[in-house]
Homo-oligomer: A and B are copies of this chain.
Amino acid sequence: MPKVIDSTPKADGFRMPGEFEPHAGTWILWPERPDNWRLGAKPAQKAFVEVASAIARFEPVTMGVSHAQFANARQMLPPEVRVVEISNDDSWVRDCGPTFVVNDEGVVRGVDWDFNAWGGLVDGLYFPWDKDDAVACKICEIEGVDRYKAPVVLEGGSIHVDGEGTCFVTEECLLSEGRNPDLSKEEIEAALCDYLGCEKVIWIPLGIYNDETNGHVDNIFAVVRPGVVVIAWTDDESDPQYARSVAAKEALEAATDARGRALEVHTIHIPDPLLITEEESQGVDAVDGTLPRLPGDRQAASYINYYVVNGGVLVPAFGDRHDEAARVKLQELYPDRAVVAIESAREIILGGGNVHCITQQQPRG
């Protein structure tokens, strides 16, 4: 009996759990649009099958898919993945899906943010985005969970929490002109605390270089566990990423979290610059109003876009010389979880994100 609640999670005693807390399962949306995914999205679909299959080893997976692709998705995916119809404008459920919150009694609710394709008419990535904006509601309805409608433009990839009162964001994204230009930084902090059940917001200046999401936090930063975080790093001082990573490290090392703890900051080196090839670019339909995928464009590839599931960690693998170090470091940071490399991560980053961007955890109630 789902309904819209005219209150806030914080007022009702709800909080967003850390991604490392137990999941009921994971949501994914099937890639389809040929103006973002090359070759009619067929290589991306194989990559999404790899991700869904990897997660399904650890927890239930539900794939949302348009009617047009329903039969194809059902056939390509293993039977243990549940397939449900959810129309979408593209396959980034991290960003358009609900942010789930829980209370101490184990009740689960959804937060339904406004979604405007990463910047609306200012610098959004495609038009229209009405199907995406309905995804959070549809997921809550399927699960029968009540829903908060947050009157704020926000994507799930632009926030991270430690589950103990601290929220992490980037100024580049949260203060961007295309999202909430009428809200002050203080008003945005208040909204984050109200809808995520947090007490403190820690601001990182910038995200990953050339990240089309206006620097989502989830590509440069992740919470390993309360008090322990990890950021994307590069030793190459000539890389435009260098100053960004240094700024992130400094901001985090200067901060204390909601519980008053200093943060232990780990780093994982980014892969070498990942550029779109001529062949890859030619596979993408040109459509007015959709961000083009041009040869030589540097994609915002980062191992920090990993995704934590029950008993596992999925990390992008790009066929890069830094892949193995990233895997080893994550295994150190998550000694009790199996680290699984997603070998087709290049196909996902070609569409603009990675494993974390295409998944959304539903916490266990």
Interface residues of A (CB under 8 A from B): 1-4, 60, 67, 70-71, 74, 79-80, 82-87, 131, 134, 137-138, 141-142, 144
B2, A71: Cβ atoms closer than 8 Å: no
A64 CB to nearest chain B CB (Å): 9
B134, A70: Cβ atoms closer than 8 Å: yes
How far, in angstroms, from A309 to B84 measured CA to CA in the complex? 26
A2 with B79, Cβ < 8 A, contacts A85-B138, A142-B142 known? yes
The closest CB in chain B to the CB of A142 belongs to: B84
The closest CB in chain B to the CB of A61 belongs to: B1
B141, A83: Cβ atoms closer than 8 Å: yes
Of A71, A85, A138, chain B has the most CB atoms within 10 Å of the CB of A85
The closest CB in chain B to the CB of A1 belongs to: B80
What are 11 A-B contacts defined by CB distance under 8 Å? A2-B79, A2-B82, A67-B87, A67-B134, A70-B137, A70-B138, A83-B141, A84-B84, A84-B141, A85-B85, A85-B86
Oligomer: number of copies: 2
How far, in angstroms, from A326 to B141 measured CA to CA in the complex? 36
How far, in angstroms, from A83 to B144 measured CA to CA in the complex? 9
A141 CB to nearest chain B CB (Å): 5
Of A3, A84, A144, chain B has the most CB atoms within 10 Å of the CB of A84
A134, B83: Cβ atoms closer than 8 Å: no
Chain B hits for A82, CB < 8 A: 1-2, 141-142, 144
A84, B138: Cβ atoms closer than 8 Å: yes
B79, A1: Cβ atoms closer than 8 Å: yes
The closest CB in chain B to the CB of A131 belongs to: B67
How far, in angstroms, from A231 to B4 measured CA to CA in the complex? 44
Chain B hits for A79, CB < 8 A: 1-4
A204 CB to nearest chain B CB (Å): 36
A149 CB to nearest chain B CB (Å): 12
The 10 closest A-B pairs by CB, nearest first: A3-B79, A67-B87, A1-B80, A85-B85, A83-B141, A84-B142, A82-B141, A85-B138, A84-B141, A85-B86
The closest CB in chain B to the CB of A86 belongs to: B85
Chain B hits for A2, CB < 8 A: 79, 82
